[in-house]
Amino acid sequence: MILVLAGTSDAGEIINELATRGLVVLASSLTAYGTQLARAAGAGQVLTGPLDAVGMEEVLARYPVRLLVDATHPFATGASAAAHAAALRKGVPYLRWERPPVNPTCPGIYRPAGWEESARMAFSLGRVVFLTVGTRHLAPFAAEAAREPGRRLVVRILPVAESLAFCHQCGLLPSQIVAMQGPFSRELNRALFSFYRAEVVVTKESGPQGGVAAKIAAAQDLHLPVVIVERPASLPGPATGRIEEIVAKALEVNKAENWGDYPGPRQP
């Protein structure tokens, strides 16, 4: 059995490749939406909800996991640290999926360190900031927007209840919320940036799968500066950016026993 910590679009591809090879996949997802995607990709079972290091150890003790594949978001540092620590303690091989970086060389790109600095820089570059990083780090941008009259924050989020509720908690009005499911093309990004009269675009360095290139291209079309929040410098454990390497490792560790007819979790 292979445990895949889902949280990105890449996780679905990984799950599908593993399931296609006949491997039993147990997935873990933070949200109900992620659970739906993991099941659609071919996961035999999905655990929904957050897992800290203790919870992860309980999962590894309860299920016959041969390999833990960490396919969480590049910015989910806490989840990766907890998963790696639990895998070490339980003696389960760990392999982290690592998206390749995006390194634009065009003008108008700013790369601050940290979320608070990113919020300050964004509003120093313009008064209407279009935020495309989800809700996890929305608070510092909402706080920065509220510091001066005339500043305006527009956020693009997934159309799920939890994200909308958090936007309202941060004081955002419906007119400041774009609730849409990506991916977004260059043309659609450009239309949205133009419609909301954005003066600055904020994204995070989440790799090609995160749509960074399309956002930058659209911003360049409109001569808008782009603030890119750098991903964490270091994450734990061995990593790969090739799905075929994950599949090869999964097949290798799965040779010891055949879990093809695995009926369910071990009893505690």
pLDDT above 80 for 191: yes
**Are residue 224 and residue 239 in the same domain, yes or no?**
no
**Are residue 74 and residue 128 in the same domain, yes or no?**
no
Decide if 266 is inside a domain.
Answer: no
**Are residue 93 and residue 34 in the same domain, yes or no?**
yes
Evaluate if pTM is beyond 0.75.
no
Q: Which residues pair with 5 in a beta bridge?
A: 28, 70
Distance CA 168, CA 40 (A): 31
Find out whether 162 and 31 touch, Cβ atoms under 8 Å: yes
**Are residue 133 and residue 190 in the same domain, yes or no?**
yes
Taking only the tens place, the pLDDT of each residue in 34-66 is 888 899 999 999 999 888 889 999 999 999 999
**Are residue 123 and residue 44 in the same domain, yes or no?**
no
Confidence class for position 209, pLDDT limits 50, 70, 90? low
Give the pLDDT of residue 256. Answer: 54
Q: What is the mean pLDDT of residues 24-37?
A: 89
**Three-state DSSP class for residue 26:** strand
**Are residue 175 and residue 192 in the same domain, yes or no?**
yes
| Residue 86 Cα distances to 30, 80, 216, angstroms | 17, 10, 38
Confidence class for position 211, pLDDT limits 50, 70, 90? confident
**Are residue 144 and residue 182 in the same domain, yes or no?**
yes
Decide if 165 is inside a domain.
Answer: yes
Confidence class for position 257, pLDDT limits 50, 70, 90? low
Among all chains, which residue has been given the structure tokens 């950016």? 241
Distance CA 55, CA 50 (A): 8
**Are residue 248 and residue 147 in the same domain, yes or no?**
no
Q: Tell me, what CATH number does 45's domain have?
A: 3.40.50.720
**Are residue 189 and residue 114 in the same domain, yes or no?**
yes
Decide if 264 is inside a domain.
Answer: no
**Are residue 24 and residue 117 in the same domain, yes or no?**
no
Decide if 261 is inside a domain.
Answer: no
Decide if 74 is inside a domain.
Answer: yes
| Structural domain of 115 | 109-229
Among all chains, which residue has been given the structure tokens 């090609």? 208
Give the pLDDT of residue 205. Answer: 81
Taking only the tens place, the pLDDT of each residue in 96-148 is 988 777 677 678 999 998 899 999 999 999 999 999 998 988 999 999 999 99
67: closest CA among 93, 34, 98?
93
Backbone angles phi, psi at 43, to 5 degrees: -65, 135
Decide if 262 is inside a domain.
Answer: no
**Are residue 201 and residue 114 in the same domain, yes or no?**
yes
Give the pLDDT of residue 240. Answer: 86
**Are residue 27 and residue 124 in the same domain, yes or no?**
no
Per-residue b or e along 243-267, where b marks 16 or more CB atoms closer than 10 Å to that residue's CB: beebbebbeebbeeeebeebeeeee
What's the number of domains the chain is made of? 2
Mean pLDDT score of the chain:
88
Specify the higher pLDDT residue, 255 or 52.
Answer: 52
Decide if 40 is inside a domain.
Answer: yes
